[in-house]
Amino acid sequence: MSTASASTASTYAVSDTGLTLAAVGDLVLDDDVLTPRLEATSPELLGLLRGAHVTIGNFETTAIDFDRFAGWPEAEPGGSWLVTSERGGADVRAMGIDMVSRANNHATDWGVAGLRSTSAVLDEAGLVHAGAGESLTAARAPRYLTTRRGRVALVSAATRYQAMSLASDPFGIVPARPGINGLRTTKWFGVRPDELRSLAAIRDSLPPASLHHTARKADARDGSVTLGGTAFISSEATGGQVGPYWKVDDEDITALRTSVRQAKQSADVVAVALHTHEPGNYSAEPPPFLHDLAHAAVDEGADVVLGHGPHQLRAIEVYRNRPIFYSLGNFIFMQNRQFPLTREAWRRTGLDPSRHTPGEMLEQKRLKGPFSDRVWYESVAVSLSFENQGAVDITIHPLTLTFDTQHHSDRGTPRPADVTAAHRILNRLRTLSEAYGTEILLGNGQGCIRIDR
């Protein structure tokens, strides 16, 4: 196995025999239960999930019993109106998953009623969930699971979410707003200094009333230029980066640090889940601010950072002897049997629900939509063995989500990759990770990383 080292090291307060944590990416479930199918097609994968002392995934949907649901789909979803039945929680628990993150852009596709319905479903299934709650304090709070090998904490936060998804705390007689632990960001577009001067000349030639006074104040404060609702900034301020650039709100970074520090004070192993889509789903490179967030989490005591959101794999970094997975990709990506479908979802495909079946609509969405490529259907599950002397053994298990199949009902369901796909997935992940100085040793269709104390 390869060895990664850093300037600091510490031990884990786990039992002498260690603690194993498994993690997977996004859980995008449809209306059906999946575990019985996985027991027939992928028993070894279920063995991995069930065999770990703790297994964590990202629950990126809403669980609803429509016979009792009193809510509705929001006008602006997190991309689409993802939904599964009230059986979804028990199904995920039956797979062997113990804890789920919920701070993501689909948490309020069906409003606060959907958020609360999901909480009830997860609670009933016995799943520990973090990142969403009845207030911002609740959404930010670490959640814990005690095992015979040690106590694990999960903190969940997201930078990609709908504006209405952000939770808030009560203020005087103003009640709290249920929602997620969202990290607010300011977005600029980086351009070369000479280009910024040209944009400033254009802005200053316009009538004063064409730009709101708050935008002018922001430009004066940040050295930016706002035109057409877009704020441009010099690449000298973005570390040379040209293109979209984000800065996370300082107050939210401080709050994230506090949540992680609290978790470390009360748990033996701390996992931090960060949900980001920036700079876009098609980018395999994380945004610079995600590096900063992940490093801040480790600095406060996080033992592993679990990234997800872009629906594809991103690199693995080892920082201060702690692994950072910038994106684990999808674990379940079943959009082919989603039920029910909103009127707006039909409208986006251009098909007529009176002439086409839901299956035809969903298949057109898959073939012509943004997720028609193989890259969205190749990912990994990871298992981490934490030793009480401080070492971590990481095993990377490549997965395919049944992309090449004539049976539409199987598409999006995970299974261990065959030899050809495993080689492709692991080599891609190794290449991405080399940029961070991370060495992944390949063998027996798996990847390995050894982090010594």
Query: What was the pLDDT predicted at 365?
Result: 80
User: Does 226 lie in the same domain as 95?
Assistant: no
User: Does 199 lie in the same domain as 163?
Assistant: no
User: Does 426 lie in the same domain as 292?
Assistant: yes
User: Does 91 lie in the same domain as 192?
Assistant: no
Q: Does residue 6 lie within any of the structural domains?
A: no
Q: Does residue 60 lie within any of the structural domains?
A: yes
Long-range contacts of range 417-424, CB-CB < 8 Å, 24 or more positions apart? 417/378, 417/445, 419/445, 421/378, 422/398, 422/446, 424/378
Query: What was the pLDDT predicted at 1?
Result: 40
User: Does 320 lie in the same domain as 418?
Assistant: yes
CATH number at residue 108: 3.60.21
SS (H, E, C) the chain: CCEECCCCCCCCCCCCCCEEEEEEEEEECCCCCCHHHHHHHCHHHHHHHHHCCEEEEEECCCEECCCCCCCCCCCCCCCCCCCEECCHHHHHHHHCCCEEECCCCCCCCCHHHHHHHHHHHHHHHCCEEECEECCHHHHHCCEEEEECCEEEEEEEEECCCCHHHECECCECCECCECEECECCEEEEEEECHHHHHHHHHHHHHCCHHHCCHHHHHHHHHHCCEEECCEEEEEHHHCCCCCEEEEEECHHHHHHHHHHHHHHHHHCCEEEEEEECCCCCCCCCCCCHHHHHHHHHHHHCCCCEEEEECCCCECCEEEECCEEEECCECEEEECCCCCCCCCHHHHHHHCCCCCCCCHHHHHHHHHHHCCCCCHHHHEEEEEEEEECCCCCEEEEEEEEECCCCCCCHHHCCCCEECCHHHHHHHHHHHHHHHHCCCCCCEEECCEEEEEECC
Query: What was the pLDDT predicted at 13?
Result: 62
What's the domain count of the chain? 2
Query: What was the pLDDT predicted at 364?
Result: 83
Q: Does residue 351 lie within any of the structural domains?
A: no
User: Does 81 lie in the same domain as 25?
Assistant: yes
In tens digits, the chain (453 residues) has pLDDT values of: 444 433 344 566 666 669 999 999 999 998 888 999 999 999 999 999 999 999 999 999 999 999 999 999 999 999 999 999 999 999 999 999 999 999 999 999 999 999 999 999 999 999 999 999 999 999 999 999 999 999 999 999 999 999 999 999 999 999 999 999 999 999 999 999 999 999 999 999 999 888 999 999 999 999 999 999 999 999 999 989 899 999 999 999 999 999 999 999 999 999 999 999 999 999 999 999 999 999 999 999 999 999 999 999 999 999 999 999 999 999 999 877 788 999 999 998 889 999 999 888 888 887 777 888 899 999 999 999 999 777 899 999 999 998 877 666 788 899 999 999 999 999 999 999 999 999 999 999 999 999 987
Query: What was the pLDDT predicted at 8?
Result: 41
Q: Does residue 273 lie within any of the structural domains?
A: yes
User: Does 312 lie in the same domain as 231?
Assistant: no
User: Does 157 lie in the same domain as 213?
Assistant: no
Q: Does residue 433 lie within any of the structural domains?
A: yes
Domain, as residue range, for 54: 16-181+268-335+371-451
Q: What Rg, from alpha-carbon coordinates, does the chain have?
A: 22
- Say which amino acid occupies 194: D
Query: What was the pLDDT predicted at 366?
Result: 75
Q: Does residue 23 lie within any of the structural domains?
A: yes
Q: Does residue 139 lie within any of the structural domains?
A: yes
Query: What was the pLDDT predicted at 6?
Result: 39
Reported pTM: 0.93
User: Does 329 lie in the same domain as 381?
Assistant: yes
User: Does 195 lie in the same domain as 127?
Assistant: no
**Pick from 230, 245, 260: which residue ends a domain?**
245
User: Does 206 lie in the same domain as 100?
Assistant: no
User: Does 39 lie in the same domain as 81?
Assistant: yes
Q: Does residue 51 lie within any of the structural domains?
A: yes
